[in-house]
Amino acid sequence: MKELIIGVIFLGNLQITSYRSVPEQTDSTPFITATGQHTHDSGVALSRDLLSRWNGSVRYGDIIYIDGFGFKVVNDCMNKRHTKAVDIWVETYKEEKAIGIRQRNVWLVQKK
């Protein structure tokens, strides 16, 4: 049997918010993420300072763990005005309001 070793990297105590697929919160394709995927309830957008495309340590498709929210897949990016932040995709306004703005510890999960 093959052994899978998992490592984690602490990304920091980051601001957690949420977004919905509505034009005022996204671009002209509100249901398509930066990776070309359709939005889904495990997806998140990261601030650009955290993404490898802009010299951060996280790549699209990576798994992160957000304290209190669980495992999420990085498939989108936030507007450049945001830093040290994670935006969780949600379907409803009620879910968005329930998340609000929080600070949470976030880790990058890596296979070794």
Which pLDDT score is estimated for 34? 81
Flag residues of the chain having pLDDT under 70: 1, 3, 5, 27-28, 30, 112
User: Where do the H-state alpha helices sit in 1-112?
Assistant: 93-99
| Cα–Cα distance for residue pair 75/61, rounded to 1 Å | 6
- For the whole model, what pTM was predicted? 0.87
Helix (H) or strand (E) holding 107: strand 102-111
Which pLDDT score is estimated for 41? 87
Strand stretches in 1-112, DSSP E: 6-19, 43-46, 63-66, 70-77, 85-89, 102-111
What domains sit in the chain, N to C, each tagged with a CATH number?
A: 6-26+41-111 (2.40.40.10)
